[in-house]
Each structure stands twice: as structure tokens, then as C-alpha cells.
């Protein structure tokens, strides 16, 4: 077994998951790990042990920086990292140090970003934004970050100008997990035509959004709507509702989607239906680029 | 203790609750009972015992009619009572008999109503509709029945012409019980101004519906939005979204709201903001009137 001796450790610590990477100074990934020890289930005394459970094998060679982003910086997290206010530089600064017991850990948490009007917050996405701009210097436009809480972010001259959060992913999860639609919507499967039609219908008549949900249940009972079709239609309705409300963000703009898997592709497809060609960047890649940019700013 | 000897028994058996009334032939309530033995938690063998647990003290004087409405007539209920299709008379007919072991029970289930385009179904509300029309003979207009699944129903010449279901009550329940908004929205309390403003804002710009949800969470974090204000605002956003989609039902129409408690009053208030004066009828009263009308039709 070859020993892993990182120069620093990158950490993405969200509400439900903890992901870590052993990094070289130049930004190469030497090792990685993950667990379900997300911020949401940890008490204050649990954070350091949860981190050590994944990274202790990388320690023992002196004090090294650990750069963390995500909900770990919330009030209920390891340390509260105060929000930066928009407009602000897209590259994070002002990291909050964390006191630790282990002598080799030199932990810093990247601050989230807030907007007062309309009120909004992000924690974690600011690091993906910084990473995307590190990978695409000088890029101007609008970033779309799908997820439990999707974000639309207006970037200009390397600054975050404004942003807006949508609960689309969480709405899909609670409707399919806790509402009467759980009996209609499948756990997997898809139907491109149903998705596209639902996106288009919702954007054409957004005032009808609330009327389409129970129809899925009724079509299951009366018309044998398939679970796959219902899944794609519900997703199209919710993403369509998000696009209807986010129209000022994407209409006539240069749009890049940051994310992983099917969900991000669905957003790209939905935007294509509006004649908006969006690029797609992998979420993990930009997260690591953002943590690397933060490491360099800390060292610089 | 005076013995209760009903001529018939009225039953409202929904997904979560069972309510029974001992009735005289003329429609007087002689006694009542209720339990949490809703259809949703019962297996086929459980239905008769669940009913007897509430009504056995009223039996022993020969076979009497038991008239039941609600989800008890669904495929997963005691007996499947096939849907009647719209357009149809507002007074239910075609009751489905249930085989029972107890010699005194002569059980009938009132059919639900279905609509094929757009697909929709109801079970239980058809009895409230029949009851409302029994109490208000010749009434024409639109009925609004708020609840877990709100219904808007177009009544003309004593017929149900069309209807539309909204998941408004269930959306409120899952957003406040299972989403990040559970940390922002109070279990009780209210703010009339927040409710009214949210209704008006949502109706003025329905395409922005999806944008308002996470704002509640952000305002809690950044602006100390109170749990009471957040509760009223979320309710206003969701009822506003329902009104936006149901506009063809209420605009310029004679509207009556059927329901109980605060929720029904919120709908009346939201409609008043649109200059639509709606009357308010108690849900239990119209349910009993509808079950009584069904009893008379059965005997007649």
C-alpha cells in the first residue's frame, strides 16, 4: 500500500453527505473518500471525528490545510462562517478558521453568500461558481446549478451580481415521497416526450401550474398513466415552473449548467426547448476547482 | 342512559378518519361518533369491525340502512363503488351495497365522480355537493371545497358540469412537515397582511410562483421573518397559485365555499380580495344533508 501524503485536503460538507479529497499543491487528486456524515445529523462534538474517520490515514506528516465548503459553515454546522453579501467577487475570500484537537488539522471554512433583496442564501454553490470561473476565466453570463435547491446566478466581470434559489429538487422529492403522487410516480424511468410537453405547457401557461399536479394522480386512476410518464411529466412541470420564474435570468443570456447526472441534462434539454443553448459542466470537477482556488488564495 | 335507536346511520369514511351519526328518518342527529380508523390504514377484514366499534350500541333493533361516502368506496376501500361520470346529476344515485357479517347492517356506499378530460376524480365531495344543493334548491354557480385536495365544481341546473382538483392542502402539509421550510413556518399563528399580500402578489404574477418558496427560508435567516408571518405567507402563496389556475371557475361567478375552520375562511378572504363575494357553508352540515338526501333517494 502506497502512503498518501497530501499537501492539503479538500472538503465538500453538505447537509446529507461528506466528501473529501487528498490534494497535491498543484491541484492533483491523490485520494478521495466520502460518507453519509452530513452536517444535518451531527452534533458539535461529532464534526472532527467524522472528518478524521475519512482523512486520518492522510495525516502524520505535519500540519496541513483543510479547506471546506458547504452547509458545514451554517449556524448549525462546525463553525458559523458569516455570509459574504452580493455583489461580491466570484472568488471566495475571508475563510473562517476552525479550532481542532488534532495537531495536523488546519481547517478553514469558505463563507456562503447572501442577498438581502430578494432575500436569498447559498452555501457550497459559491465554491462551484469560483471553480467554474477558474476553469473559464473571464466568463460572463448566467450559471444554473440544479439540485435540491437550484440556484440561478448572474455573473458579470468576475462578480456575483445576483442570484435566486428554487426548491425544485426538494419539491420533487417530497411530492414523490410524501404526497398522494407517490402512488403515481415511479422511482425511475423516463419519457422524453412527456417531459418536453410538460416544460412547454408550463412555460406557455404558468398561471396553470397548480392545476397539473393532481391530474397525474387522476390519469393514473382513469387512463393508466405509466409511472415513468408520470415521473417525467412531474419533473417537466416543476422545472417548467422554475424556468417560468427564472426567465429574467436565462432569456437572451449566455447560460452554463453545473451539475451531475440526469437532472443537469434535463435542465439543458429544457433550456434547449426555449432556444437557449446551455453548456454543461460536471459538479464535482468545478467543486474541486473552487476548493483549489480557495487553497491558492489562502497560500497566496 | 337513554338508548339510541336510529332509523339509519350516516357515515363519512375518509382516508384518515371515520365519522358516524345515528339518524332519525327525518334527518335529526340522535348521536355521533368518530375514530382515526380511516380507510388508509385498514385491511379488507378491518372495515366491519372498525364500523361496529362506533355503531354497535345503536344496533339490535333489526336491519337498518348505513349510508357511507368517501374514500371507503375506493379500490383500496371496503368495496369499490364505480365512479359516475360528469356531467351528472348533483344528487347521487347508484349506491354500491356491501356484504356484511352483522345481520343488522345494510351498508351502501355512494359512488365518487370522475371526469375524463382533464382527468380528475372525487370521493366524498359529491355528497357535500348534493347536500349543499338539498339545502339551497336551484342554486347555480361554482362550489369551492378547500381541503387536502381542494375542489372547484361548476354546478348548472342541478348538474355537476366539470370540476378541478388542487393539491393545495397537501402541498402546505408536506412543505411545512418535510421540507427546509419546516424550520421557518410556525405550527400556528397568522398574519392577515402577509396572507393578503401573498395572494395578491401571486395572482398578479403567477409565473413567479416557484420563486417565492425559498425566499421564506432566506427571510427567516436574514430578516428574522416570524414563524407566524411565514405561515400566512406560504398559505397565501399556495392559495394564490390555486386561484390563479382556477380563475375560469370563479371569475364573474356565483361562488360558495364549503368547509370548516380557518382554512375555509382564508379562501373566502382570498376571493374577497378579487372582489368575489363567496358564501360559507359548514362542511359537516352539508355532508349530513348529502347523506340524508342519499338515504331518502334509497328509501324513495
Q: What is the pLDDT of residues B56-86, one digit of tens each?
A: 999 999 999 999 999 999 999 999 999 999 9
- Regarding whether B17 and B93 lie in a shared domain, the answer is yes
The answer, yes or no, to whether ipTM is higher than 0.85 is: yes
The answer to whether residue A80 sits within a structural domain is: yes
Residue ranges of chain B whose pLDDT lies below 70: 1
DSSP 8-state class, residue A181? G
Q: Return d(Cα B59, Cα B54) in angstroms, integer.
A: 11
Query: Which structural domain, as residue segments, surrounds residue A199?
Result: 166-282
**CA-based nearest distance A56→chain B, Å:** 33
Q: Is the pLDDT of residue A119 over 70?
A: yes
Q: Both B207 and B269 in a single domain?
A: yes
Query: Does B151 fall in a domain?
Result: no
Q: SS3 helix, strand, coil % of chain B, rounded to 5?
A: 45, 25, 30
CA–CA gap between residue B51 and residue B72 (Å, rounded)? 11
Spatial distance between the Cα atoms of A263 and A266, rounded to a whole number of angstroms: 5
Please give the residue of chain B at the shortest CA–CA distance from A118.
B215
Is the same domain home to B201 and B273?
yes
Query: What residues are paired with A155 via a beta bridge?
Result: A141, A160
Q: Is residue A48 part of a domain?
A: yes
Q: How far apart are the first and last CA of chain A?
A: 33
CATH number at residue B118: 3.30.420.300
A119, A171: one domain: no
Q: What is the mean pLDDT of chain A?
A: 96
Q: Are residues A109 and A172 in the same domain?
A: no
Inter-chain contact B245–A121, Cβ cutoff 8 Å?
A: no
Same domain for B267 and B183: yes
Question: For the segment A205-216, what is each residue's pLDDT rounded down to a tens digit?
Answer: 999 999 999 999
The structure's pTM equals 0.95
Domain shared by A189 and A276, yes or no: yes
- pLDDT for residue A299: 87
Chain A: which residues have CB within 8 Å of chain B? Answer: 114-116, 118-121, 149, 164-168, 170-171, 174-175, 177-181, 206-211, 213-215, 217-219, 221-223, 238, 241-242, 244-247
Residue A1: the pLDDT is 59
Plot region of A66 (φ>0 → left; ψ -120 to 50 → alpha; else → beta)? beta
What's residue B260's pLDDT? 85
**Residue located via cell numbers 346529476:** B89
For residue A156, is it within any domain? no
Distance CA B260, CA B248 (A): 24
Q: Looking at the DSSP assignment, which residues form a beta bridge with residue B155?
A: B141, B160
Contacts 24+ apart (CB under 8 A), A199-205: A199/A236, A199/A239, A199/A240, A199/A243, A199/A270, A199/A273, A200/A240, A200/A273, A201/A240, A202/A236, A202/A237, A202/A240, A202/A241, A202/A243, A202/A244, A203/A240, A203/A243, A203/A244, A203/A274
Domain annotation covers residue A290:
no
Which residues sit opposite A31 in a β-bridge?
A: A22
**Exposed e or buried b per residue across B248-267, where buried means at least 16 C-beta atoms within 10 angstroms of its C-beta:** ebbeebebbbbbeeebbebb
| CATH, residue A170 | 3.30.420.310
A172 shares a domain with A244: yes
- Degrees, nearest 5: CA angle B9-B12-B16: 140
Q: Do A171 and B178 touch (CB under 8 A)?
A: no
Number of domains in chain B: 2
Q: Evaluate whether residue B2 is within a structural domain.
A: no
Task: Output helix, strand, coil percentages for chain A, rounded to the nearest 5.
Answer: 45, 25, 30
Given an 8 Å threshold on Cβ–Cβ distance, is A213 in contact with B167?
yes
d(CA B288, CA B11): 9
Please give the average per-residue pLDDT across A30-53, as a whole number: 95
End-of-domain residue from the set B123, B153, B181? B123
Shared domain for B203 and B103, answered yes or no, is no
Q: Identify whether the C-beta of residue A93 lies closer than 8 Å to the C-beta of residue A78.
A: no
A28 CB neighbour count, 10 Å cutoff: 12
> Mean of the pLDDT values across residues A93-98?
93
Kindly state whether residue A91 falls inside one of the protein's structural domains. Answer: yes
Which chain B residues have any C-beta within 8 angstroms of a chain A C-beta?
Answer: 114-116, 118-121, 149, 164-168, 170-171, 174-175, 177-181, 206-211, 213-215, 217-219, 221-223, 238, 241-242, 244-247
Are A25 and A95 contained in the same domain?
yes
Torsion sign over Cα B65, B71, B77, B83: positive
Q: Which residues of A touch B223 (CB under 8 A)?
A: 116, 119
Are B86 and B114 within 8 A, CB to CB?
yes
Place of cell 365518487: B112
pLDDT digits (tens, 9 = 90+) for A227-267: 999 999 999 999 999 999 999 999 999 999 999 889 999 99
For B55, the grid coordinates are: 355503531
A114 pLDDT more than 70 = yes
Q: Rg of chain B's alpha carbons, rounded to an integer? A: 21
pLDDT for position B61: 93
What pLDDT score was predicted for residue A34? Answer: 97
A249 domain-assigned: yes
Amino acid at each position: 500500500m502506497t502512503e498518501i501524503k497530501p499537501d492539503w485536503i479538500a472538503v465538500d460538507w453538505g447537509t446529507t453527505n461528506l466528501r473529501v479529497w487528498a490534494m497535491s499543491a498543484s491541484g492533483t487528486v491523490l485520494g478521495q473518500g466520502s460518507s453519509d456524515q452530513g452536517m444535518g445529523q451531527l452534533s458539535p462534538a461529532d464534526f472532527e471525528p467524522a472528518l478524521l474517520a475519512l482523512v486520518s490515514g492522510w495525516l502524520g506528516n505535519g500540519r496541513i490545510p483543510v479547506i471546506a465548503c458547504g452547509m458545514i459553515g451554517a449556524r448549525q454546522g462546525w463553525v458559523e462562517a458569516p455570509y459574504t453579501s452580493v455583489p461580491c467577487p466570484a472568488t471566495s475570500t475571508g475563510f473562517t478558521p476552525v479550532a481542532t484537537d488534532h495537531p495536523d488539522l488546519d481547517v478553514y471554512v469558505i463563507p456562503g453568500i447572501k442577498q438581502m433583496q430578494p432575500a436569498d442564501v447559498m452555501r457550497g454553490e459559491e465554491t462551484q461558481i469560483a471553480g467554474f470561473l477558474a476553469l473559464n476565466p473571464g466568463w460572463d453570463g448566467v450559471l444554473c446549478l440544479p439540485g435540491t435547491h437550484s440556484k440561478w446566478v448572474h455573473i458579470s466581470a468576475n462578480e456575483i451580481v445576483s442570484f435566486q434559489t428554487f426548491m425544485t429538487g426538494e419539491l420533487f422529492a417530497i411530492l414523490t415521497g410524501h404526497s398522494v403522487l407517490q402512488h403515481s410516480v415511479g422511482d425511475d424511468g423516463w419519457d422524453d416526450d412527456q417531459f418536453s410537453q410538460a416544460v412547454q405547457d408550463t412555460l406557455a401557461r404558468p398561471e396553470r401550474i397548480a392545476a397539473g399536479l393532481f391530474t397525474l394522480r387522476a390519469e393514473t386512476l382513469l387512463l393508466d398513466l405509466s409511472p415513468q410518464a408520470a415521473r417525467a411529466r412531474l419533473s417537466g412541470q416543476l422545472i417548467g415552473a422554475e424556468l417560468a420564474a427564472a426567465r429574467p435570468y436565462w432569456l437572451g443570456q449566455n447560460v452554463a449548467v453545473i451539475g451531475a447526472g440526469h437532472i443537469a441534462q434535463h435542465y439543458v434539454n429544457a433550456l434547449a426547448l426555449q432556444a437557449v443553448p446551455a453548456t454543461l459542466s460536471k459538479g464535482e470537477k468545478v467543486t474541486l476547482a473552487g476548493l483549489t482556488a480557495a487553497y491558492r488564495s489562502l497560500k497566496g
